[in-house]
Amino acid sequence: MTVNLEVAEGVGTLRLDRPPMNALDVATQDRLKELAEEATRREDVRAVVIYGGEKVFAAGADIKEMQAMDHTAMVLRARALQDAFTAVARIPKPVVAAVTGYALGGGCELALCADYRIAGENAKLGQPEILLGLIPGAGGTQRLPRLIGPSKAKDLIFTGRMVKADEALALGLVDRVVPAGEVYEQAHAWAARLAQGPALALRAAKEAVDAGLETDIDTGLTVERNWFAGLFATEDRERGMRSFVEEGPGKAKFS
């Protein structure tokens, strides 16, 4: 399989496994969507790590496969490509990308689907589609400017240049830079800590933030208000407040 889902201690690792560069061909895209939807459904998956291995995250699309496609073929395929990445972005659980080596084109767009990005010192990220006479087609023109702002996103998209980990951190494209050998360990630790948290409240927080970014503030506040009030019906809310009153903050054990 080109993508695998490995689950341990509440953390599901979506592992890209298409050597040597984890090129995202059609089969890989479809498998990614299938497993993202599985991670969404499974109750034993409470947080997710996206990982490409020690040497490379994903170097982008399979250019040889794309070269053979004409306009009609891509019209038929483009929606499925976006849907695969959107399935990752809509996993209603905390998702962290563990980025080593190249994360280019579709690889960078996949990292953008995560809630948090931890990069190795050897990471290089970018949207080089313009160098092929194209634009990003798996969400790059939409998710990148929402993350780092339109002018910085346009610089990366217009030039197609790669940025190293330190510049990616300065741009806000990644959230933490660590030694390359520690990327997965630290990403897994981030996910494992959240996997012990209140699952429904984390889902609510993610949906409220994401929905709010796509609408006006009044609508966003309505989403927040409805989730906030709704969480008062949960066992985790009762448990968390009781623990706070009896034991102090940060000691609650959630179901």
The catalytic residue positions are 109, 129
Look at residues 15, 18, 13 and name the one whose alpha carbon lies nearest to residue 2.
Answer: 18
Other C-beta atoms closer than 10 Å to the C-beta of 126 total 24
Look-up of token digits 């962290």: 96
CA distance linking residue 201 with residue 207, whole number of Å: 10
Handedness of CA 15, 21, 22, 27 (dihedral sign): negative
Token pair belonging to 207: 């949906």
Token pair belonging to 65: 């496969």
The amino acid at residue 19 is: P
CB 172 within 8 Å of CB 148? yes
Longest pairwise C-alpha distance within the chain = 65
In angstroms and rounded to an integer, the radius of gyration of the C-alpha atoms of the chain is 19
Cis before 150? omega within 30: no
Give all strands of the β-sheet with 162-164 in edge-to-edge order: 102-104, 124-126, 162-164
